[in-house]
Amino acid sequence: MRKLGLVIALLGASALAPALSHAQSPDAFAKALHIYGSYRVVPDITYLTANNWEAKLDVYQARDATTPNPTLVYFHGGGWVAGSKEASSLTFLPFLSMGWNVVNVEYRLAKISLAPSAVQDALCALRWVHRNGKEYNVDTNRLVVMGNSAGGHLALTTGMSPTSESLDSLCPGNEELKVAAVINWYGITDVNELLAGANMRNFAVAWLGGMSNREQIAKRVSPLTYVRAGLPPIISIQGDADPTVPYSQNVRLHQALDKAEIRNELVTIPGGKHGGFSDAEMT
């Protein structure tokens, strides 16, 4: 899987290699049973209460962990209007197979609260990890944020938003919201582009609603707004025939990051749609 190898190289995470070597091996079933028996899941931990709604996350922790482990913080997709953390649990199996912790996050969807609430929640989830990580053997110096589609957007904004934007104002505590790397699977990078014109998307319109200042808010929650020096490594993976998120958005992000001299990679899946990539497409 050459393209997944690029992910490993960019993040410097050599521990990924064993996970990939097992992906097509005959003992895959035994490996799955090993993961099942080796992890404990602490479900539905409330990390934030807003709009009279409890935002929750699940922690997957290796049972035999005695030292702080690298940890993935994962955000599900669904255009900020749909999706759930429970429906996305298979997505991060490779990280469990290599012994990482995983924090699987839910956030306020548009039916509960419009933008920028989902971005605020994602930052609060990261703050919760920094504040409570020791209890779950989390190495807060080795936190990677990842998501698909709208979740990719949230991973980017979580890893890129500066404290000066105060998008973390709802979050208890004052810990620095730092991450070691960002993995963006076909995420949105320019929300304004999806509000009108040829690339208008109903899910983006629904997330911003009829707010009079929606263009200003859309810019505030767009990763492209926050490209600057000092960001963590970022890798983006997207099909160049994606019908949902314009491929050009991640091309623009890649170009902007290059200009800012940020370590990054754009992995293009030729002919790939909006996720669901086949093994052939990933080679």
pLDDT confidence band for 22 (50 / 70 / 90): very low
pLDDT confidence band for 64 (50 / 70 / 90): confident
3-state per-residue secondary structure call for 204-267: HHHHHCCCCCHHHHHHHCCHHHHCCCCCCCEEEEEECCCCCCCHHHHHHHHHHHHHCCCCEEEE
Q: Is the pLDDT of residue 277 over 70?
A: yes
Residues 119, 214: Cα–Cα separation, whole Å: 15
Q: Is the pLDDT of residue 177 over 90?
A: yes
Q: Is the pLDDT of residue 9 over 80?
A: no
pLDDT confidence band for 10 (50 / 70 / 90): low
pLDDT confidence band for 233 (50 / 70 / 90): very high
Q: Residues 131-154: what's their mean pLDDT?
A: 97
* Predicted structure pTM score: 0.90
Lowest mean pLDDT, pick from 4-13, 81-90, 106-115, 240-249: 4-13
Q: Is the pLDDT of residue 67 over 70?
A: yes
Residues near 249 by beta carbon (within 8 Å), at least 6 away in sequence: 188, 189, 190, 193, 224
Q: Is the pLDDT of residue 32 over 80?
A: no
| Cα torsion 89, 94, 99, 101: sign | negative
Q: Is the pLDDT of residue 118 over 60?
A: yes
Who wins on pLDDT, 257 or 279? 257
pLDDT at 7: 55
**What are the phi and psi torsion angles at 165 (to 5°)?**
-80, -15
**What are the phi and psi torsion angles at 281 (to 5°)?**
-70, -25
pLDDT confidence band for 21 (50 / 70 / 90): very low
**pLDDT digits 0-9 by tens, 195-215:** 999 999 999 999 998 899 999
| Cα torsion 265, 270, 275, 281: sign | negative
CB 103 within 8 A of CB 72: yes
pLDDT at 210: 87
pLDDT confidence band for 18 (50 / 70 / 90): very low
pLDDT at 20: 39
Round the average pLDDT of the chain to a whole number and report it.
90
pLDDT confidence band for 216 (50 / 70 / 90): very high
Q: Residues 148-171: what's their mean pLDDT?
A: 96
Burial 143-158 (b: 16+ CB within 10 A, else e): bbbbbbbbbbbbbbbb
pLDDT at 156: 98
Closest among 53, 72, 77 to 61, alpha carbons compared: 72
Q: Is the pLDDT of residue 194 over 60?
A: yes
The identity of residue 283, as a single letter, is T
Inter-CA distances, 152 with 116, 143, 165, 197, Å: 15, 15, 20, 23
Integer-rounded Cα radius of gyration of the chain: 18
